[in-house]
Amino acid sequence: MTQSSRNNAEESIGMQRLQLDPHLQVYQRERNRTALFWMFAGGIHLLYVYWLSTNVLVRLTRFQKPSQLSFPDLPGLFELHTLGLPLLSGLLLIICGLIVWVHSGLFSPWVAIATGFWTTTACCVGIFFSPMCMFMPFYGVLFLQSRSFYESARFLVVKGFDLCNLPVSSCAAVPLNREPTC
């Protein structure tokens, strides 16, 4: 191996470390914070579903005997039917947050990160056009945090890293099926 090819190899390794370090730091710094935000937002969704469903059910059953419940009013049924989306998004955010928080090898953290990011994106759009738009600042911060976390995780996955066993620095970072260079 000539000296020039050795210098080129060292320069490319140095450039890879310069690209890798910020993504490793962002991923490790934002992992727990994003997981907590996702679980908190999912809890807000579930509390909203619980509150609205109990109010609708109380309104439906308040002045009727149990034998008369065969023909409930249609607006109440429509309200109960539309609770599926907040319920599903709340459960998805809690499950994705738990998977990212635990960071075990049982489930792929990358799938949970991608699902959590796209669920957050859909919730932001839905909240923006809903009567609950007063929560938009919270969902804006949640979206920006999820986006930076998602982009750094996607970069690491594309480079071939296993998100369950990430190193502390790029010197210890070895993509799958490669030898350490430090």
Does residue 47 lie in a domain region?
yes
Average pLDDT of adjacent 10-residue blocks, the chain of 182 residues: 51 61 86 92 90 77 60 60 82 92 78 92 85 83 93 89 68 48 42
Does residue 110 lie in a domain region?
yes
Angle at 115 between CA 109 and CA 118, to 5 degrees: 140
Does residue 53 lie in a domain region?
yes
Q: Which two structure tokens, joined as six digits, stand for 157?
A: 């996955």
CA distances from 27 to 18, 23, 30, 170 (A): 15, 6, 5, 13
Does residue 64 lie in a domain region?
yes
pLDDT for position 176:
47
Beta-carbon contacts of 154 under 8 Å, excluding residues fewer than 6 positions away, are 114
Nearest alpha-carbon partner for 84 in 49, 113, 110: 49
pLDDT for position 40:
94
Does residue 182 lie in a domain region?
no
Does residue 68 lie in a domain region?
yes
Instruction: State the residue range of the domain holding 105.
Output: 37-163
Separation of alpha carbons 17 and 155, rounded Å: 13
Does residue 57 lie in a domain region?
yes
What residue type is assigned to position 64 of the chain? Q
Separation of alpha carbons 40 and 139, rounded Å: 11
Q: How many CB atoms lie within 10 A of CB 53?
A: 14
Q: How many distinct structural domains can be found in the chain? A: 1
Does residue 109 lie in a domain region?
yes
